[in-house]
């Protein structure tokens, strides 16, 4: 079967990276059934032939008007599709969509009429926000990391930056590679407009990764691999914390002085 990716190396590289990350999410146990979502703004690697390509679906309402997305293209995981299937067959478990000129409808351009994730309005709202901010971030990843979600069941970790500081202090790399820490969004109904708005508010407070209490995390990054890396780094710290606790002690964590030394040496914010 012909694919929109045929002969398009830059676009294929983007989709291959999505498939690679989807495989990691599954093997880490963070993507049960259809859990999680990935959307990537691929507009930069779309050529004129794709722009002229007829759609393979009728226009579908996004449900919100997103003025900065006119004519933009996104790869989106399909609704009810499994990450583990997407890892092997990204164009059968996700699709490339084009946002129409009215900024409130999309159509599917390839490869198959796979309807995008039910979280599309919130993911696209985040992309609209990122473009408005002048950000070069292109990817958003939502997943269900076991150890981070477990920590979100303890209210003491949900106060502003308490969890960020604890996770940073578990291993120096966490602050180095996730210097903005972990924003917290209190529990809200999945797929709701409220959850999308609260996520954008947290991103606007300068977080790249946001914890959705008792649900999962949402990360944005320049590309899908970097968004994944931040979640992976935070998760590593959570596992170190959990393993110390399961050995029968609460880990000390790096001292404030050691954290300050790290931040100064590597020019980190906060
Ligand atoms: O779409 O994880 O929160 C699958 C989800 C929704
Ligand atoms: Zn979820």
Q: Which ligand is nearest to the CA of 189?
A: 1
22-48: pLDDT as tens digits: 999 999 999 999 999 999 999 999 999
> Looking at the CA of 119, which ligand is closest?
1
How far apart CA 114 and CA 118 sit, in angstroms, is 12
pLDDT at residue number 235: 98
Q: Distance (Å, rounded) from C-alpha 61 to C-alpha 53?
A: 20
Which residues participate in catalysis according to the annotation?
Answer: 119
* CA–centroid distance, residue 185 to ligand 1 (Å): 16
Looking from the CA of residue 143, the nearest atom of ligand 1 is 2
Alpha-helical runs (H) found in 28-62? 48-52
Give one word for 124, left, alpha or beta, with left for phi > 0 and alpha for psi -120 to 50: alpha
Name residues contacting ligand 1 (CB within 6 A): 34-37, 117-119, 142, 190
Q: Give me the pLDDT at residue 4, please.
A: 98
Distance 142 CA to ligand 2 centre (A): 6
Query: Do strands 182-185 and 209-212 pair parallel, antiparallel, or not at all (unpaired)?
Result: parallel
Could you report the per-residue pLDDT of 103-160, keeping only the tens digit for each? 999 999 999 999 999 889 999 999 999 999 999 999 999 999 999 999 999 999 999 9
| Structural domains present in the chain | 1-119 (3.40.225.10), 145-270 (3.40.225.10)
Give the pLDDT confidence score for residue 270 in this predicted structure. 58
Angle ∠(11,13,17) on CA atoms, nearest 5: 120
Residue 268, pLDDT score: 85
Return d(Cα 83, Cα 61) in angstroms, integer: 25
Query: The whole model's pTM is what?
Result: 0.96
Residue nearest to atom 3 of ligand 1 (CA): 190
DSSP codes of every residue in 194-244 = HHHHHHHHHHHTT-SEEEETTTEEEEEESSHHHHHHHHHHHHHHHHHHHHH
Spatial separation of the C-alpha atoms in residues 67 and 70, rounded to whole Å: 6
């Amino acid at each position: 079967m012909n694919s929109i990716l045929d002969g398009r190396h830059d676009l294929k590289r983007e989709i291959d990276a999505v498939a690679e990350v989807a495989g990691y999410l599954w093997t880490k146990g963070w993507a049960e059934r259809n859990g999680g979502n990935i959307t990537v703004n691929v507009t930069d690697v779309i050529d004129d032939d794709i722009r002229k390509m007829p759609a393979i679906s009728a226009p579908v309402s996004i449900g919100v008007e997103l003025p900065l997305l006119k004519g933009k293209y996104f790869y989106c995981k399909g609704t009810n599709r499994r990450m583990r299937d997407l890892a092997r067959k990204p164009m059968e478990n996700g699709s490339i969509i084009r946002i129409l000129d009215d900024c409130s409808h999309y159509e599917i351009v390839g490869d198959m009429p796979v309807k995008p994730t039910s979280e599309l309005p919130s993911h696209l709202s985040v992309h609209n926000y990122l473009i408005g901010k002048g950000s070069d971030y292109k990817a958003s990843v939502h997943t269900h990391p076991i150890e981070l979600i477990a920590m979100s069941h303890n209210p003491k970790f949900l106060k502003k930056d308490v969890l960020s500081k604890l996770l940073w202090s578990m291993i120096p790399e966490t602050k180095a590679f996730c210097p903005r820490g972990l924003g917290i969004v209190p529990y809200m109904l999945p797929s709701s407009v409220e959850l999308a708005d609260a996520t954008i508010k947290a991103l606007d407070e300068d977080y790249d990764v946001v914890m959705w209490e008792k649900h999962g995390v949402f990360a944005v990054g320049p590309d899908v691999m970097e968004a994944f890396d931040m979640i992976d780094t935070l998760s590593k710290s959570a596992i170190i914390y959990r393993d110390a606790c399961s050995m029968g002690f609460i880990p000390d964590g790096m001292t404030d002085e050691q954290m300050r030394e790290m931040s100064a040496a590597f020019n980190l914010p906060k």
